[in-house]
Amino acid sequence: MSAAGKRAIVTGAGSGIGAALCRALDLAGAHVVCTDIEGTAAEATAAMLGPRARAECLDVTDAKAVQAAVDHVVAREGRLDLMFNNAGIVWGGDTELLTLDQWNAIIDVNLRGVVHGVVAAYPHMLRQGHGHIVNTASMAGLTAAGQVTSYVATKHAVVGLSLALRSEAAAHGIGVLALCPAAVETPILDKGALGGFVGRDYFLRSQGGKPYDADRLARDTLRAIDHNKAILVKPTVAHAQWLFARAAPVLMNRLSMRFVAGQRSRQRSRLRSGPGDAR
């Protein structure tokens, strides 16, 4: 990517995809603000980068804080070129196990967090006549399988938001990209488990058991920005699954039901065997 001198903000930059995006941006010569709700994690990411990077504690569910972070970059740097709305959480397990508080939490972070970033950054980009917004969705925003219902709902919304905004923004010289990876090697694979759900097994089983590398995804993302792509789906097997889902949605739903049934069987087996069984 031709990112030398670009001004960027990355949310959820303390680990995973966010940290990888910061590394790729820094390597490309951008000035990047690494933000995360865990300030120490954001600082750790920025500390590994060059002098153009800085860290900031930011809760994406706080609209005023997101607006202030964006306004500060614009006031200090004169513009904001790249806004990466990346922060996200996941809950995995049968839908009846989810509490209303958990539903609200994932909607607040995964959807409202993106909305807050768009509301804060897009008007600045309109005024300056250029910019790019990257919203981290997921393969779960393009296909659907049970046991990650709340995650699927929020990520579908992010894809829809991104494509709709893209259709408006193009006339103003602004790009919008929906980032839709399948399982990436990040801490989220091991979080948000309810019941016997094991995220690493769930997310990796459909792509041959091997997660995609976060740094590779970050490089893919910068290339996708360069080519003004609407959606980026990685790895290749996920892209093939997405095309299949578009061509045969009813059959894909049947396969999803079979997948969920298999997951439930393995989860019951784990619960019977105890927490030490990682089959």
SS3 category, 109: helix
Q: Cβ distance 98 to 149 under 8 Å?
A: yes
Q: What are phi and psi of 208, to 5 degrees?
A: 75, 15
Going from the C-alpha of 22 to that of each of 37, 48, 89, 105, the distances in angstroms are 16, 10, 19, 25
Does 202 qualify as catalytic in the annotation?
no
Catalytic annotation, pick one of 122, 151, 202, 212: 151
Tell me how crowded residue 251 is: count the other CB atoms within 10 A of its CB.
11
Q: Which two tokens stand for residue 80?
A: 């904001």
Going from the C-alpha of 271 to that of each of 164, 193, 201, 259, the distances in angstroms are 43, 13, 15, 19
- Catalytic positions, written as ranges: 151
